[in-house]
Structure 1
Amino acid sequence: MTDNRWIRRFVQAPGASARLVCLPHAGGSASYYLPVAKALAPKVDVIAIQYPGRQDRRDEPCLETCQQLADGVFEALRPLTDKPIALFGHSMGASVGYELTRRLEDAGVRPTALFASGRRAPSRTRGEKTHLLDDEGLIAEVKRLGGAGSHLLDDPDLLAMVLPSIRGDYKAAETYRWTPGPKLSTPVFAFVGDADPKVSLDEARAWAEHTAGEFQFREFPGDHFYIDANAQDVIAAIRDHIEASQAVRPV
């Protein structure tokens, strides 16, 4: 049985021949991917992941490592691997997606692609400590990066609800450390904004070191949340991949 705490479907696509799993950024939630679900249905069953500690899961404790998050998503996805599956993760979600791909491959499930967006390669680290700042400092960093909905942090009531998940996610993202192991066989598509302060172009290109499969790199205009301004192009790239992978799928 599917663990519905983790899974959100905003558009039903029962006849879809493929699935896309969308993994949110630090402080993000499943609803961020509503436009993706609307754009790809009914051909693609879009599954947006809801991490603990936010929105309708705000009474649950946050998970503070990418590995724990990947474990939870993996268990929830087990019943949903009957169709070809691709993964899209932005920022922290890309690290969770990488760890999730490892778990899927170990279980004999090879995703058609991992789209790693706005995140440095697993083997590249920075000494980031935003999660250790006081509330004011943490909020300032979130606002600096921007992204849809960041202005809502000016609402004290809303801020009180979301601050624990933001801090927990930042801890997971900033303390993530790669454990060396076999390369993925899953193709990796690394997307990045050309002015992203959180990841350099070289750090994004280094995703090539983590797959024995196909690798593609694509640079978009914009900062850390380049996807807000380039949503149509990002969704088109995902759609093109899924259609191409379906075209070569064995009968």
Structure 2
Amino acid sequence: MSYLTRHSAPARPALRLVCFPHAGGGASFFRSWPAHLDPSTELLAVQYPGRENRFREPLVPDLATLADAVAEHLRPLPPLPTVLFGHSMGAAVAYETLLRLEAAGDSPVLRLCVSGRAPDTAPGPGDHTDEQLVRTVQELGGTQAAVLDDPDLRELLLPIIRNDYRLIDRYRRSPDAPRLRADLLALTGDRDPQVTVEQARGWAATTDGAFSLHVLAGDHFYLVPAAAEVARLAASVYPSTAGNT
């Protein structure tokens, strides 16, 4: 099954925005975003295996395999100026996907938007108890925190969340990774317990393109109440000659 869920399909698209969800999240997290975008923007969301309409498929055990698969699904798409947006775990998947697209040759990606994650994060435990997972999700907030109060939904979601946390805990950005050619926009909440503003600024060292940083009010899931502003920032492509801000 395809890794891409289409949330909008304009007749004459001018821009493609591809969104990568957080750990435990699915493509539906971005289904409201078309209302915040120009009608000419094609919105695709990555659907990781093991959730929503791909619930019966096996979970992917490592981030490299996940990025390989997403890149393979993006390459055949009709040429179109493209922006990748990833939140939390999705930021790492989007970054690794773009490395693969750029390594393969000319990439249509003009900008990578990374949200709620630093480029280099200390190793995590890799394995979590149910109680640890629930506590972590509740501390971060977001829509899943309330869902986990339901015992039946918790039983369905915890294996997915556990796999994703294990995947991201074991992931490390390669120190030998080439610098990106695309522009890069980093976004973070001013009260995110996982990412400081200075850590988010570290993404500047990963690209030769223009870099900018936006700090918005909120915690790790600042983008839920600020969806309109985040979508606008992600899709407002600027030329590489604009310089860093």
Would you call these one fold, judging by a TM-score over 0.5?
yes
Secondary structure of the equivalent of 1:222?
A: coil
Q: Check if 1:33 corresponds to 2:30.
A: yes
**Structure 1 residues 1-251: aligned runs within 5 Å:** 4-40=1-37, 42-108=39-105, 109-121=107-119, 124-129=120-125, 131-179=126-174, 180-241=176-237, 244=238
Secondary structure of the equivalent of 1:132?
A: coil
Contact 1:52 1:63 (8 Å CA) reproduced: yes
| Pair 1:13–1:41, CA change in 2 (3 A) | farther
2:114 is matched by which residue type in structure 1? A
CA distance in 2, matches of 1:37, 1:144: 29
Mind listing any 5+ residue stretches in structure 1 that lack a counterpart? none
**Cα deviation per residue 1:119-141 (whole Å; 9 max; x = unaligned)?**
001xx221322x52211221111
CA distance in 2, matches of 1:103, 1:133: 30
1:232 is matched by which residue type in structure 2? A
Number of aligned residue pairs: give it.
Answer: 238
Secondary structure of the equivalent of 1:165?
A: helix
CA distance in 1, matches of 2:111, 2:235: 12
1:117 is matched by which residue type in structure 2? S
Q: How far did 1:150 drift?
A: 2.2
Q: How far did 1:239 drift?
A: 3.1
CA distance in 1, matches of 2:144, 2:173: 30
CA distance in 1, matches of 2:108, 2:40: 20
CA distance in 2, matches of 1:42, 1:30: 19
CA distance in 2, matches of 1:218, 1:24: 19
CA distance in 2, matches of 1:226, 1:81: 33
Q: CA-atom RMSD, angstroms?
A: 1.6
CA distance in 2, matches of 1:178, 1:240: 27
Q: Single out whichever of 88-97 and 102-111 deviates more from structure 2.
A: 102-111
Q: How far did 1:197 drift?
A: 0.8
Runs (4+) of structure 1 exceeding 6 A deviation are: none
**Cα deviation per residue 1:168-222 (whole Å; 9 max; x = unaligned)?**
1111111111112220011110001111111111211000000011000111111
Tell me the TM-score normalized by structure 1: 0.90
Contact 1:24 1:92 (8 Å CA) reproduced: yes
| Pair 1:81–1:164, CA change in 2 (3 A) | farther
1:163 is matched by which residue type in structure 2? L
Contact 1:193 1:223 (8 Å CA) reproduced: yes
Tell me the TM-score normalized by structure 2: 0.92
